[in-house]
Amino acid sequence: MTATSTARPAAASGTLASAARDALIIMWRNLKRVPRIPELAIFAVLQSIMFVLLFAYVFGGAIPIPGGGSYNDFLMPGIFAQNIVFASGITAIGMADDIGKGIIDRFRSLPMARSAVLAGRSFADVIYNLGILVVLMLSGVFVGWSVHTGIPELLAGVGLLLLFAFAMSWLGIWMGLKVPSVEVAQQAIFTVLFPITFLSNVFVPPQTLPDWLQPIAEWNPTSTLTASLRELWGNPNPYATDSFPSQNPILVTLVWVVVFIVIFAPLGIRRYRTLSR
């Protein structure tokens, strides 16, 4: 038996082109499920709207914005950031589900790029997040949020959100590959993602936190992303301090994006290659 005995490739396997083709096929597969399980996207949006309503009307009155400005105008960038952090939890659950159902085994038995299943997933996550963001931004306009600068700043902010979505997706993928089951994934993401969203400047001023916690909240990528958006879009950002992340939120966010990808992409791919149950 020789290697050429089977029907042979469209693209020579092992090349960058074939790896990209494989990743695009996986991305297609992951995006197909969005309209087929519409509940997933609907609840993602509803959850964010629930947070907006909860904070805008329940806590909003109790949280004054120093220097004035509307609470909702202040809140929305944080909601966008939070939504992306939570989306990585969906990624983790999806990954764990794929392993549990055995489809990852089939992918691993195919002569496809080892990176494709994970890269395809993260590309799909970016597109999915873009869709959710558009819906959320339109909802934000309803409750009084707007971009006070211009189109370039709007696009820059969206670009930053999507870069962050890409980075967070790799964290979600890695978590999904690490946990033994979907149930554990569901538990694990709360433990990991809740501190990332709530230990931040999204809802409250970091200055109110204990001294030792304050730097953590300021360096938290959710905080730097939120601060970046407020700065780019001219939304109130009243809690800025003299700290480095407060003064350079965009730079720190970009560094976070790189750090997440550099750490979690190789970890995820290595885990995928040696996956065994």
Partner 1 sequence: MDVITAEGLVKIYKTRKQEVRALDGLDLSVAEGTVLGLLGPNGAGKTTTVRILATLLKPDAGQARVGGYDIVTEAQRIRTLIGLSGQYAAVDENLTGRENLWMFGTLYQLASDTARSRATELLDQFELTDAADRVVKTYSGGMRRRLDLASALIGRPRLLFLDEPTTGLDPRSRLGMWDVIRSLVREGVTLLLTTQYLEEADELADDIAVVDHGKIIARGTADQLKAQVGGERIEVIVHDRTRVDDARRILSGIGVGTAKFDEHTRRVTVPSDGGAKRLATVIREFDDAGIVIDDIGLRRPTLDDVFLSLTGHAAVEEPTEGEAA
Which residues are near partner 1 by CB under 8 A? 1-3, 5-11, 13-14, 18, 21-22, 25-26, 28-29, 32-33, 36-37, 101-103, 105-112, 116, 274-276
Picking from 218, 261, 211, the residue whose alpha carbon sits closest to that of residue 239 is: 218
Among 237, 202, 208, 227, residue whose Cα is nearest residue 69: 237
* Number of Cβ within a 10 Å radius of residue 198: 14
d(CA 277, CA 259): 29
How near is the Cβ of 201 to partner 1 at its closest, in Å?
37
The least CB distance from residue 31 to partner 1, in Å, is: 11
> Measured from the CB atom, is 26 or 137 closer to partner 1?
26
Q: How far is the CB of 101 from partner 1 (least distance, A)?
A: 7
Q: How far is the CB of 178 from partner 1 (least distance, A)?
A: 16
- Residue 240: CB atoms within 10 A of its CB come to 17
What is the C-alpha to C-alpha distance for residues 118 and 154, in angstroms, rounded to an integer? 29
Q: Which is nearer to partner 1, 191 or 274 (CB)?
A: 274
Pick the closer one to partner 1 by CB: 37 or 130.
Answer: 37
Cβ of residue 18: shortest distance to partner 1, in angstroms? 7
Q: Please give the torsion angle defined by the CA atoms of residues 129, 41, 81 and 204, in that order, rounded to the nearest 10 degrees.
A: 170
Query: Phi/psi at 248 (nearest 5 deg)?
Result: -130, 55
Closest distance of CB 43 from partner 1, Å:
16
Q: Is residue 198 within 8 Å of 216, Cβ to Cβ? A: no
Extended beta strands in 101-244, E state: none
